[in-house]
């Protein structure tokens, strides 16, 4: 498994091959899309399974989930004037950022401050990602409209990338995101 310069976890090559095989086994619509439930079924069928590894992943996910709102049983409401109410979850786990957790009902101000700082960091990342995705979509929509109205066809390299990656050939007049990001210069090699 590889990570990007920003710390994002990428799928392993094995996972990439699994996804490609599952997609190849699914029938595509004219626009290239496949039924998501059929992809899930294929991944399930093709996925190797290690009981201990899966048990560990489930345990990690269980604890991580208990740090999120609405994942533990509420006990009443918290009401702060001017903000409305939210469920009080005394058993929700609060993380100090140094590998320790405590039930919310026992959390010190330091634990709650660490949780608040992480929440702000996550919110900033979400907002930044939304702004980036919105800018991409706005430009992609304009590019697609311009491309379709001009009657322009995809260049050979875009057609080959689609064929090599998905095993499909686009319908006449179809535009797709990969063509857009390469043609407009947004795509770059990994650093």
pLDDT in tens, 44-90: 999 988 999 999 999 999 999 999 999 999 999 999 999 999 999 99
Give dist(CA 145, CA 175) in Å, integer.
9
Give dist(CA 161, CA 85) in Å, integer.
51
Give me the pLDDT at residue 13, please. Answer: 86
pLDDT in tens, 127-149: 999 999 999 999 999 999 999 99
Cβ atoms of 49 and 28 closer than 8 Å: no
pLDDT in tens, 94-137: 999 999 999 999 999 999 999 999 999 999 999 999 999 999 99
Contacts of 29-35 spanning 24+ positions with Cβ under 8 A? 30/171, 31/171, 31/174, 32/162, 32/166, 32/168, 32/170, 32/174, 32/176
Query: Within 13 Å of residue 63, how many CA atoms lie on the same side as its CB?
Result: 10
For 105-156, the DSSP string reads GG--HHHHHHHHHHHHHHHHHHHHHHHHHHHHHHHHHHHHHHHHHHTPPPPH
Tokens representing 85 are: 């109410």
Q: Estimate to the nearest angstrom the gap between the alpha carbon of 152 and the chain centroid.
A: 32
Residue closest to 95 by CA, chosen among 110, 111, 106:
111
């Amino acid at each position: 498994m590889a990570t990007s310069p920003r710390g994002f976890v990428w799928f392993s090559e094995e996972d990439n091959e699994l996804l490609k095989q599952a997609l190849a086994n699914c029938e595509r619509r004219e626009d290239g899309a496949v039924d998501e439930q059929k992809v899930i079924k294929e991944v399930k069928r093709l996925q190797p399974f290690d009981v201990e590894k899966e048990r560990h992943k489930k345990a990690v996910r269980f604890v991580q989930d208990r740090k999120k709102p609405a994942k533990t049983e509420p006990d009443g409401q918290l009401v702060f004037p001017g903000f409305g109410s939210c469920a009080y979850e005394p058993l929700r786990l609060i993380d100090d950022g140094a590998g320790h957790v405590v039930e919310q009902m026992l959390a010190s101000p330091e634990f709650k401050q660490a949780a608040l700082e992480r929440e702000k960091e996550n919110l900033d990342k979400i907002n930044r990602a939304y702004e980036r995705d919105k800018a991409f979509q706005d430009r992609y929509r304009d590019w697609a409209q311009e491309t379709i109205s001009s009657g322009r066809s995809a260049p050979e390299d875009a057609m080959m990338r689609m064929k090599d990656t998905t095993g499909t050939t686009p319908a006449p007049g179809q535009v797709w995101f990969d063509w857009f990001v390469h043609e407009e210069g947004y795509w770059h090699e990994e650093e």
